[in-house]
């Protein structure tokens, strides 16, 4: 039997080992309940950390699974215990918000390979007594979804009302719809794709090489040697962060403005505001994320190719599906451009699926799905209301 626990509130969560004993809820699966991975390895024992918001209704028909992106976590609408900052999607999830926790039961889990409680490279390897490091098997998006499915089983939920997420979260949404179509009533992949492009793999490889080139990486064994490859991880974050923004948003926010000076220094300090901003993004990131997790989770995104699982046919991934889809993209997103979403929509149409699609005007790049974009909120709220009516449950604001 899997066991569930909650980290003691009396213990300062910032000082706690979040990789092993997170501040969130935790389900531990024993050695006789392994997780089958795409690599052919059976991972056991293993655990998954998660947060919930709202209340599961009597017939368990109001459960929503939120899937997080590359550097996200389970704290979608609650304070992150490491940073002390609000949840990464608290604009979307909460009482009276588009995903209304007064009405829906929301679940968000740290992904497999992560570093905030779900088994990942910073977790203790039971065979050695030290962190897995690179001894952890390589993880895929499908592995992440398998782990989430086991959590949903543990919670006693048969069919999820909605699975929703952006970027890598959107990849998980598509994988859910393909792997468990009978368990997903509605699916909302945002700013995502059915496979990672060579350009995106290239950006990830730059980040991974930056981490592995840091002398403190120590072949992935830095935790047991009590060092951290912070410089390499910071550079990886800086490179990735540029891809999340658009040229227009960078120009509007920074232009060529100088940082706390009125003339160039003719040196290599942060003369420009954009340089200072990226350095800040890099250094704050290393406080909350594990370098090896960055390697594993980016690799999972690189390996993602949904059509490959179905003989190269993306429509075959959705054959016979009864899931209702709402696919969203943003005009200025060059990391996951609208063309990728249109490919998904085309495949869904070929499979005769129930699908709606919207390209949202935004100059804020890939990160638009995390920001205050009213059209996105309105679209999701409208889709959720329609899906609730289709399932025969009341929508927020309607009598039960």
To the query of whether residue 333 is one of the catalytic residues in this protein, the response is yes
Among candidate residues 333, 341, 362, 368, the one labeled active-site is 333
Residue 90 to residues 85, 236, 288, Cα–Cα distance (Å): 10, 26, 18
Are 37 and 143 a contacting pair, CB within 8 Å? Answer: yes
Catalytic residue among 249, 366, 367, 368: 366
Q: Could you write out the three-class secondary structure of 70-117?
A: CCCCCCCCCCCCCCCCCCCCCCCEECCCCEECCCCEEEEECCCCCCCC
Query: Of 168, 192, 203, 209, which is closest to residue 70 (Cα–Cα)?
Result: 168
CA distance 230 to 319: 45
Q: CB neighbours of 135 closer than 8 A, spacing ≥ 6? A: 125, 128
Active-site residue, 73 included = no
Retrieve residue 346's tokens: 């085309």
Q: Which of 152, 120, 112 is nearest to 136 (CA)?
A: 120
Q: How far apart are CA 88 and CA 76, in angstroms?
A: 5
Pairing mode, strands 35-36 and 160-166: unpaired
Using the 8-state DSSP alphabet, how is residue 138 labeled?
Answer: P
Chain centroid to Cα 254, Å, comes to 28
Residue entry with tokens 């859910």? 176
Catalytic status, residue 167:
yes
The catalytic residue among 23, 167, 293, 329 is: 167
What stretches of the chain adopt beta strand conformation (E)? 3-6, 25-29, 35-36, 42-43, 46-53, 63-67, 93-94, 99-100, 105-109, 160-166, 184-190, 324-330, 354-360
Q: CA 87 to CA 73: how far, in whole Å?
A: 9
What is the rounded CA–CA span in Å between residue 49 and residue 118?
A: 5
Q: Which residues are catalytic?
A: 167, 333, 366
């Amino acid at each position: 039997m899997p066991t569930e626990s909650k980290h003691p509130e009396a213990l300062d969560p910032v000082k706690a080992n979040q990789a092993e004993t997170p501040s969130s809820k935790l389900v531990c699966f024993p050695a006789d309940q392994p997780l089958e991975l795409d690599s052919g390895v059976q991972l056991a024992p293993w655990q998954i950390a998660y947060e919930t918001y709202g209340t599961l209704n009597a017939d368990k028909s109001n459960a929503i699974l939120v899937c997080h992106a590359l550097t996200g976590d389970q704290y979608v609408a609650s304070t992150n215990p490491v940073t002390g900052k609000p949840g990464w999607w608290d604009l979307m999830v909460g009482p009276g918000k588009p995903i209304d926790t007064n009405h829906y039961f929301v679940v968000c889990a740290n992904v497999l390979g992560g570093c905030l409680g779900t088994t990942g490279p910073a977790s203790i390897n039971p065979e050695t007594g030290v962190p897995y490091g690179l001894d952890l098997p390589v993880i895929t998006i499908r592995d992440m979804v398998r782990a989430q499915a086991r959590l949903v089983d543990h919670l006693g939920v048969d069919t999820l009302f909605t699975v929703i997420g952006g970027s890598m979260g959107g990849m998980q949404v598509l994988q859910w719809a393909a792997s468990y179509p009978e368990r997903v009533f509605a699916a909302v992949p945002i700013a995502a794709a059915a496979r990672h492009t060579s350009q995106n793999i290239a950006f990830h490889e730059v980040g991974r090489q930056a981490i592995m080139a840091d002398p403190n990486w120590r072949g992935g064994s830095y935790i047991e040697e009590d060092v951290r490859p912070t410089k390499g991880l910071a550079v990886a974050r800086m490179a990735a962060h540029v891809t999340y923004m658009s040229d227009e948003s960078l120009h509007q926010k920074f232009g060529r403005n100088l940082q706390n000076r009125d003339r160039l220094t003719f040196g290599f300090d942060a003369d420009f505001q954009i340089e200072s901003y990226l350095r800040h993004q890099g250094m704050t990131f290393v406080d909350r994320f594990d370098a090896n997790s960055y390697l594993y989770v980016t690799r999972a995104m690189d390996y993602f190719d949904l059509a490959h699982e179905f003989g190269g046919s993306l429509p075959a991934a959705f054959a016979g599906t009864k899931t209702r889809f709402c696919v969203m993209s943003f005009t200025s997103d060059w990391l996951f451009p609208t063309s990728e979403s249109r490919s998904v929509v085309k495949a869904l149409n070929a499979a005769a699926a129930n699908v709606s699609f919207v390209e949202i005007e935004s100059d804020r790049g890939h990160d638009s799905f995390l920001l205050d974009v009213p059209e996105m909120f309105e679209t999701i709220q409208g889709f959720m209301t329609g899906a609730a009516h289709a399932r025969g449950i009341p929508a927020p604001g309607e009598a039960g």
